[in-house]
Amino acid sequence: MYNKILLASDGSAHAERAAKAAINLALPEKSSVTVLYVWDSSKSKKEIAVRNDADTLQEIRESRLAGTVQILERAGLSYSIELTEGEPGPAIVSFANARDFDILVMGSRGLNAFQEMVLGSVSHKAIKRVSCPILIVK
C-alpha cells in the first residue's frame, strides 16, 4: 500500500516513535523510507558556532539522526537520508510535494493550545499543505 514513505525526523524521541510507525507501514511491502532532516541554521546555536566547518556541520546533523537510523537498520529496511536547510514546516511540505511519496510520517511535539497558537507547529503546517496522506505520531 505504501511503497515510498517519507519520514520527517529531527532526531527527537517523538521522531524515533514516528520511525517505528514508519517501519510498521514499510515492512509488509518492503517499502523504501526516505528520512528527511531539516535544519534551521539561524536557530541552531551549535551549528552557528561551527558554520564555516562543513565536515563538523555534517557530523552534527548526522549524529542527530543516529537513533532514527539505528531503528531503521535494526528493522532491515531500505532507507536513504536527505538533509536540507530551511524552516522545518515549509521545507518538509516542499520536499514532500516535489516528490511522489505515498505517505508522510512525522512526530508531534505535543505543544499545548497556547504554544501552538503562538508558535504554530511543524505537524500542523504539514497537515494543511502536504498533498499526500500524513501519519502524525505522538
- What's the pTM? 0.86
- Name the pLDDT band for 118 (thresholds 50, 70, 90): very low
Structural domain for 19, as ranges: 4-137
CA dist., res. 26 & res. 4, Å (int): 8
CA dist., res. 135 & res. 109, Å (int): 14
Report the interhelical angle of 13-26 vs 66-75 (nearest 10°).
20
Count CB-CB contacts under 10 A for residue 127.
Answer: 15
Inter-residue contact 12 to 90 (CB < 8 Å): no
Which CATH number is 87's domain given? 3.40.50.620
Residue 127 reports pLDDT greater than 50: yes
What's the number of domains the chain is made of? 1
DSSP track, 8-54? E--SSHHHHHHHHHHHHHHGGGT-EEEEEEEE-TTT-HHHHHTTT-H
- Name the pLDDT band for 134 (thresholds 50, 70, 90): very high
Q: What is the pLDDT of residues 62-102, one digit of tens each?
A: 888 999 999 999 999 999 999 998 889 999 999 999 999 99
User: In this predicted structure, which of 18-22, 60-64, 66-70, 127-131 has the lowest mean pLDDT?
Assistant: 60-64
